[in-house]
Amino acid sequence: MDIIVCVKRVPDVAEAEVDIDSSGRGIQLGTLGYVINEWDNFAVEAAVSLVEEHGGKVTAITVGGEDDEDVLRRALAMGADEALCLTDPAFDGSDSFGIANILSKAIADIPYDLVLTGAVSGDVGGGRVGPMLAAMAGIPHVCLATELSVDAGTARVRHEVEGGLERVVELDLPALVTVQTGMNEPRYVSVLGIRKARRKPLTAAGAAEIGIAPDSVGPAGTRVTVEEMFLPPKGEAAEILQGDDEDTVAALVERLRQQGGV
Amino acid sequence: MRKILVLVEHSGGVVDDSAYELAAAARNLGEAGGDVSVGGVVLGNDVTDLAAGLGAWFENVYVFDSPRLQVPDGVAGAELLAGLIEQEQPFATLIPHTNTGMDLAPALAVRAGSPLFADCIALETTPDGLSGVRTRYGGKVHARISATGDGGFMATMRPGSFDTGEAPGSDGALHTMEVPGDLAPQRRFVETVAPEPGAVDISQAEVLVAVGRGIDEEEHLEIIRSLADVMGADIACTRPVVDKGWLSKSYQIGTSGVSVKPKVYIAIGISGSYQHIGGIKGAPYIAAINKDPAAPIFGVADVGIVGDLFDIVPLLEQQIREVKGVG
């Protein structure tokens, strides 16, 4: 049971004020910390625990530069066996289609039964790379999985559909499943664990190694371009109550009274 | 005349509102001053009557009706839509950005070789193609995205972001499409599962005190319960609280949880993702408490306090007790 898990490092904007950078097409990353994409963390846990149960190997893959190897070391510390960093100047600026294309070429050379990705990413958040990768690799996929088990060449997946419902389906392996948060409890990763994981193999591969034409990825291969980024219009934003806590709470209680909430 | 295709989502024999929203959005995609012809596409089992009822919204309705399409399958749907796109050569294909749409659209974009705009909250034509707006970084930033070309674009559209308007009153023609005999969905359906019912039905609650990721620890839920008790309100939560196992799924408000329609809604430590906001129906009075002034929840709330919930919530409970004259 060999599993490929695709991971991504993202800026942690959860409690940060975000500003637009001087290019107007991105955000200022200067003071932001980086984390593994939240959904990917659940995907790594799923991959590692499936291999613990069934045997086999987990390979963690990311597309990025040297700094992005952090998330691979983290995946190795969680129990992945090998890691692959797809890195090439030609890859910079790829859109979702480009990233899926790079990944599809890379996994073509690796034996696998299952590919796992996060359902979406915290930065871009379109949820496209996983199902695009499946389509390019010619394998079936299911999105937004909340439970996943494997038995004799078949994956059984519970996944979110509409109206708060979930559906259980089975599909033949090899297949790709995108993982929703909450599927499991991702194990804790210690600094010591990451240090120990340095003994595990982490290799890098570029466009030539995976056999992809440099002009089919990066800006040249981009199908959808970001023209500009801007902060959301503040037009109908909330009235922010001013003063110390006693004052703001008193003002809130008054408004809740008027609205019938108290 | 430009053709636009719209994937019609439906469940339980009822057309989803997104179909009308996308039909209306499609009408804005003509060339400068030009008309458009909007086609609705219905996939499913026993859906021909449903499709026939859509004529007022679409010039053409294409229905793929087969027992093999009983359970939505993004890969099978993409195969059928790719064939229709090949035949009709639309300027753009619009798909709702729902769980089902997100399952299908990327596979279709690969098959059809289309640029895919994901999760659009606005979409318009440009002299050389298409331009859209979407959110990034959990809603803290908006991005204007574009692609150039003569057609073949694809976009998933966020439900609730486009006005439905009035049906244009078209007299749409119904086209019964063949489902190829070798179309074999790759998923085997096992069962549909509803979340286990909670102690209360929050979908009917008039006042909700909802808590999100900011609560940090399970034991901190106590201050939320305590506030809700004194208000006579029900508690609810966002996805991260359910992911941690601190409350059951029946308390989760959102597009993948429960839809609610309270009169008053207090959002505590909730950033305000669109998946969460999408579960709040009607027009409740929304109060938000969050330490992050840039949290998107303040963009949809009526009133907000920027502050630490662990300071604000106990104070709020105390002041409400005083107002109500209870201990």
For A187, counting Cβ atoms within 10 Å of its Cβ (0-12 exposed, 13-18 middle, 19+ buried), the class is middle
Closest CA to A72 of A222, A240, A245, A205: A205
**Is residue A187 left, alpha or beta, with left meaning phi > 0 and alpha meaning psi from -120 to 50?**
beta
Tell me which residue in B107, B116, B138 faces A134 most closely, judged by beta carbons.
B107
Check A223 against B147: CB less than 8 A apart.
Answer: yes
Residues A71, A36 share a domain = yes
Q: Does B199 score more than 80 pLDDT?
A: no
Residues A128, A186 share a domain = yes
Whether residue A133 lies inside any domain: the answer is yes
Q: B299 to chain A: which residues are within 8 Å by CB?
A: 232, 234, 236-238
Whether residue A71 lies inside any domain: the answer is yes
Q: How far is B23 from chain A (nearest CA, A)?
A: 20
Residues A253, A162 share a domain = no
Q: What is the pLDDT of residues A154-212, one digit of tens each?
A: 999 999 998 889 999 999 999 999 999 999 999 999 999 999 999 999 999 999 999 99
Check A142 against B103: CB less than 8 A apart.
Answer: yes
Q: Does A234 score more than 80 pLDDT?
A: no
CA distances (Å), A118 to each of A145, A179, B135, in order?
Answer: 9, 5, 18
Asked whether the bond before A174 is cis by omega within 30 degrees of 0, the reply is yes
Residues A254, A160 share a domain = no
Q: What is the pLDDT of residues B174-186, one digit of tens each?
A: 999 999 988 877 8
| Phi/psi of residue A115, nearest 5 degrees | -115, 130
Residues A253, A140 share a domain = no
Rounded to an integer, what is the distance from CA A209 to the centroid of its chain? Answer: 24
Residues A47, A72 share a domain = yes
Residues A259, A152 share a domain = no
Integer Cα distance of A56 and A52 in angstroms: 8
The tally of domains found in chain A comes to 2
Whether residue A228 lies inside any domain: the answer is no
Closest CA to B227 of B310, B313, B288: B313
CA quadruple B139, B142, B143, B149: dihedral sign: positive
Q: What is the pLDDT of residues B152-170, one digit of tens each?
A: 999 999 999 999 988 888 8
pLDDT mean across residues, chain A: 95
Q: What is the pLDDT of residues B62-89, one digit of tens each?
A: 999 999 999 899 999 999 999 999 999 9
Check A162 against B100: CB less than 8 A apart.
Answer: yes
Residues A53, A95 share a domain = yes
Looking at residue A17, its pLDDT comes to 85
Whether residue A174 lies inside any domain: the answer is yes
Residues A185, A116 share a domain = yes
Q: A20 to chain B: which residues are within 8 Å by CB?
A: 141
Give the single-character DSSP code of B195.
P
CA distances (Å), A8 to each of A89, A188, A193, B84, B126, in order?
Answer: 17, 18, 19, 35, 33
Kindly indicate the confidence band of residue B327, based on its pLDDT and cuts at 50, 70 and 90: low
Whether residue A65 lies inside any domain: the answer is yes
pTM passes above 0.90: yes
Query: In which residue ranges of chain B is CATH 3.40.50.1220 found?
Result: 202-324
Residues A107, A75 share a domain = yes
CATH 3.40.50.1220 fits B202-324, yes or no: yes
Dig out the tokens for B183 from the structure. 């179309």
Residue A14 CA neighbour count, 13 Å, CB half:
15
Other CB atoms closer than 10 Å to residue B189's CB: what's the count?
Answer: 14
Q: Which residue of A has its CA nearest to B310?
A: A245
Query: In which residue ranges of chain B is CATH 3.40.50.620 found?
Result: 2-177
Q: Which residue of A has its CA nearest to B254?
A: A164
**β-strand partners of B60:** B39, B173
User: What's the ipTM?
Assistant: 0.94
Residues A167, A248 share a domain = no
Looking at residue A30, its pLDDT comes to 86
Looking at residue B170, its pLDDT comes to 84
List the CATH number of the domain containing A137: 3.40.50.620
Helix, strand, coil: what percent of chain A each, to 5? 35, 25, 40
Dihedral through CA A184, CA B209, CA B135, CA B82, nearest 10? 60
Residues A108, A26 share a domain = yes
- Assigned superfamily of B2-177: HUPs (3.40.50.620)
CA distances (Å), A33 to each of A9, A19, A180, B185, in order?
Answer: 10, 14, 23, 43
- What range does the domain containing A243 cover? 236-262
Give SS3 for A7.
coil
Dig out the tokens for B220 from the structure. 């901190």
Whether residue A111 lies inside any domain: the answer is yes
Whether residue A231 lies inside any domain: the answer is no
Other CB atoms closer than 10 Å to residue A173's CB: what's the count?
Answer: 16
Give SS3 for B317.
helix
Q: How far is B172 from chain A (nearest CA, A)?
A: 27
Q: Which residue of B has its CA nearest to A221?
A: B115
| Phi/psi of residue B178, nearest 5 degrees | -80, 135
* Share of residues in chain B with pLDDT > 90 (%): 86
pLDDT mean across residues, chain B: 94
